[in-house]
Amino acid sequence: MGAPILPDAQAETASADAIELESFVVTGTRTRQAADQAPVRVEVLAAGKLESLGARDFADAMEYLPGVQVESNCQSCNTTEIRLMGLSGAYNQIAFDGLPVLSSLAGVYGVEQIPAGFIERIEVVKGGGSSLYGASAVAGVINVIPRRPVRDGGKIDLRFDSVAGAPSWHGSATFDRVSDRGTSWFSGYVGTTRADEVDLDGDDFTEIARKRLEVAGLRGKVRRGSLEWTADLDFIDEHRRGGNALDAPSHLANVAETLDTRRLGASVALDGRPGDRFDYRIVAAFASTRRDSYYGGLGEVVTDELAPDYDAAAYRSALERSKLQYGATDNPLWVIEAQFNHGFDRRTLSWGVQGEHERVRDENIDDRGTRVGEAAEARTFSNVALFVQDDWRVHERFTLLVGARVDRDDQLDDPVFSPRVAAKYSANEYTVWRAAVGTGFRAPRIFDEDLHIDTLGAQPIEIVNAPGLRREDAVTANLGVVWNPRALAEVLAFEVNVFGARLQNVFSLSEVKTSSDGSLFRERSNANGAGVVGTEFNVAWSFARGMRADLGAVWQRARHDEAVVLFDDDAGRVVESRRFNKTPESLAVLSLGYESGDAWDWSIGLRWTGPMHVLDNNAGTFERRGGFLVIDAAVGRHIRVANTQLELQFGVRNLTDDRQRDFQSGAGRDSDYVYGPRQPRTWFGRVGARF
């Protein structure tokens, strides 16, 4: 599923809104190109595929892309990151319709806040082959492309999940209006989710948080002559609570991670084509994310006054500390971009400017909303970049993409020059080679994970930058070949791709330390260097009408040049390793599906996550865990009633319930000790109506 080598030729059977769009991609060059002609390797996940195996949100959808690891990083609140090329989520850029509007705070839980039903397709470029994306897009770009209606109508959808026996409800509705000539359209959507908490080991502490999510948005386009205006407004309101005593105030729980997040985003884009050989796009966007949070709790103190080991003094002491662990965060983000494309006989020259400004104010408050300590100073982060890229068809068989960007980041003293190059060579009508080399960097600013606070024994663990922290530099490369013998079958293709990344001054987190005031923290400092190498193999085969199989498998090896300290208890027990934490060396996905369009559909998917080494801060170990084979299956029925198409679907995700079994229990657990598949066995049923 989602193999990059052949787009899904049957997208229209799953959704009338998906007509022909998968045959074209935009992410590599930000110009619409046929997928098999694009100089940059682009992998595509379409709406029909997301629906066929029961993906609920953006995070679920990404689990079926070869070589992608969707990882939960917290046992209490389930913050999730998407890893490409064996590198953490901080090394890739998530864009929405090409725009990087997911701020530091929004990125903590954002990948689970985008319902799959609102996505038209997802395009992924692995590696840094394109200069049009930020310098931090080292491992790649994940471009979420929202629905664009092609006719009047809409859809109403209701879904029920049973997650290890706990109920979850999701409802959504979309309404579309398209002008007679297609020169303008308007689309609105609303969605709501209610999910109960899940306790997988019976210790009265959650492994999956209780969640409530509301989403709403409006999108519209108007075209007048050579100008096209597109506007987008969206709103997200989410509450999640993990730990224990979920119905009590957070500070009365032994462990609580409570997040109330509200995000309002808006963008306006102007596309112009004053001539056949020149076009441009100017975009301005704003996103405001606010969060009320609580990380901590009473810890292992006994709270029952009738218990024989209840200690009133210990409880009062723990309560006074617990009341001080609330937080309030404000995070506005402004983004502006302009891209100009000049067409020539055999080339397209693109150039432009990108600007980004973000402010983060993170206040520590008590249970009454009173500030604790001195007022926190707002941190601001800005980056301005100039880029140029030449998409040159040197020969009928050879295309060269050469570009560079200069970034001026306010966290660095000097501008950073990042050249990038990609090439495509069609050896014959069946065989295509692609290669890319890109450079990039990470500035010493805060990251998504800094605004999610791990807990150890109900004590928050914050991340701080070491004095003199330098920027991290990176070079990535990949080389691949696609063999597509069309004469043998309607859909049959094979791909092999090798990739690598070289990192210098790698950001590395220390072991958990205790400050002079007794609080816990981890320090981010520079290690020497690290490298990742890997091989990806894909096969796509449509062996009967309506039936298709996709297989993708990746082997990867990620190592620091020298061992880094992962654990040190100051009592002689030290854990060092060159390995990356929670990074498997093998990943694979296999999907088999049948789409009839107006009758029965079915799909079966297998996801393999290989063994990985996982740090346990409680035990002071870094040991091998896993692997896991997840089996998903679904069957659906399409029923036409007048002008309405009814859709019924029933399925299961993680049929064999293959997952982590050694969760830590009780208030003293290390919330970061979580790995492997994010969801236990989940049965689901869905009913929808398109009109």
Structural contact between residues 116 and 474, judged by C-beta atoms closer than 8 angstroms:
no
Predicted confidence band of residue 352 (pLDDT cuts 50, 70, 90): very high
From 457, 597, 468, select the one nearest 518 (Cα to Cα): 457
Which runs of E-coded beta strand occur in 447-599? Answer: 454-456, 459-465, 472-483, 491-504, 507-509, 513-514, 520-526, 529-544, 547-568, 574-579, 586-594
Q: Is residue 386 part of a domain?
A: no
| Overall average pLDDT of the 230-238 stretch | 96
User: Going by C-beta distance under 8 Å and a sequence separation of 6 or more, which residues neighbour residue 514?
Assistant: 520
CATH code, 16:
2.40.170.20
Reported as a single tens digit per residue, the pLDDT across 612-665 is 999 999 999 999 998 999 999 999 998 888 889 899 999 999 999 999 999 999
Q: Which among 35-39, 266-270, 547-551 has the top mean pLDDT?
A: 266-270
CA atoms of 117 and 173, how far apart (whole Å):
9
Query: Going along 297-428, which residue ranges are E strands?
Result: 326-343, 347-365, 379-395, 398-409, 416-426
Rounded Cα distance, 217 and 235, in Å? 6
Backbone angles phi, psi at 11, to 5 degrees: -60, -30
418-477, pLDDT tens digit by residue?
Answer: 999 999 999 998 899 999 999 999 988 888 778 888 888 788 888 888 888 999 999 999
Q: Is residue 383 part of a domain?
A: no
Domain assignment present for residue 400? The answer is no
| Least confident window among 311-325, 561-575, 670-684 | 561-575
Residue 145 lies in a domain: yes
Model confidence at 668: pLDDT above 70: yes
CA 520 – CA 523 distance, rounded (Å)? 10
Mean pLDDT within 33-46: 79
Q: Model confidence over 471-520: pLDDT tens digits?
A: 999 999 999 999 988 766 677 899 999 999 999 999 988 888 888 888 88
In a domain, 290, yes or no: yes
Residue 318 φ/ψ, nearest 5 degrees: -65, -35
Q: How far apart are CA 690 and CA 657, in angstroms?
A: 33
The Cα–Cα gap between 444 and 507 comes to 9
- Beta strand pairing status for 459-465 and 520-526? parallel
CA 20 to chain centre: 25
pLDDT digits (tens, 9 = 90+) for 145-204: 888 888 899 999 999 999 999 999 999 999 999 998 878 999 999 999 999 999 999 999
pTM attached to this predicted model: 0.90
Alpha-carbon distance of 478 to 497, in angstroms, equals 7
Range of the domain at 417: 11-377+405-690
Structural domain contains residue 385 = no
Domain count, the chain: 1
Look at residue 370 and tell me whether its pLDDT is greater than 90. Answer: yes
Contact 280, 31 (CB under 8 A): no
The string of DSSP letters for 615-656 reads EETTTTEEEEE--EEEEEEEEEEEEEETTEEEEEEEEEESTT
Q: Which residues, 6 or more positions from 125, have their beta carbon under 8 angstroms from its beta carbon?
A: 27, 28, 40, 41, 42, 43, 133, 140, 141, 143
180 in a structural domain: yes
Mean pLDDT of the region 264-268: 96
Residue 383 φ then ψ, to 5°: -145, 130
Amino acid at 566: L
Average pLDDT of the chain, as a whole number = 89
φ/ψ (deg, to 5) at 17: -80, -5
Q: Residue 441 in contact with residue 473, Cβ under 8 Å? A: yes
Nearest CA-CA partner of 45 in 4, 100, 97: 4
Report the alpha-carbon distance of residue 342 to residue 350 in Å, rounded: 6
Q: Is residue 213 part of a domain?
A: yes
DSSP state letters, 86-103: TB-GGGEEEEETTB----
User: At residue 281, what is the residue type?
Assistant: R
Of 123, 40, 127, residue with least CA distance to 399: 40
Burial of 267 per CB tally in 10 Å (0-12, 13-18, 19+): buried
Q: Report angle CA 193, 194, 199 to the nearest 5 degrees.
A: 130
Cα(658)–Cα(628) distance, integer angstroms = 6
Q: Which residue pairs, CB below 8 angstroms and at least 24 apart, start in 334-337?
A: 334/285, 334/286, 334/358, 335/99, 335/100, 335/101, 335/283, 335/284, 335/285, 335/286, 335/287, 336/283, 336/284, 336/285, 337/99, 337/281, 337/282, 337/283
